[in-house]
Amino acid sequence: YEAFNRAALEKHEYWKGWTIQVPGGTPEHNIIIPRFTTLLTNLLDDLETDCTVFGSDQQIFISESRIVYPDIAVVVGDWQVDHYDRLRNPFLVVEV
């Protein structure tokens, strides 16, 4: 999966042995995501939390059978990635 996904022009998620192309967003989707990301980032900054907000280009390792590109992900504390640069310790994963 990882070699295929890195060579592909489009993003792909992995689910239980299947490789699934991630569709492009609608105009409404592309309005909601940056607004929600900004709102979430500002809220976490105002609360002075040790959180990092990631966008949709960050691949997330959920399990051996689930690897995704969510719209937004949040990590509390230090973020950890594997040798494929997949985020391994998300606290929150958001899909719109």
Q: What's the rounded mean pLDDT across residues 9-25?
A: 91
User: Exposed, middle or buried, 76 (CB in 10 Å: 0-12/13-18/19+)?
Assistant: middle
* Residues composing the chain: 96
Q: What pLDDT score does 23 carry?
A: 85
pTM score over 0.95: no
User: Exposed, middle or buried, 79 (CB in 10 Å: 0-12/13-18/19+)?
Assistant: middle
In whole angstroms, what is the distance from residue 70 CA to residue 60 CA? 7
2: pLDDT strictly greater than 90 = no
Tokens of 21: 């192309």
Other CB atoms within 10 Å distance of the CB of residue 48: 7
pLDDT per residue as tens digits for the range 24-74: 889 999 999 999 999 999 999 999 999 999 999 999 999 999 999 999 999
Considering only the C-alpha atoms of the chain, give the largest distance between any 2 of them, rounded to a whole number of Å. 41
**Cβ atoms of 72 and 54 closer than 8 Å:** yes
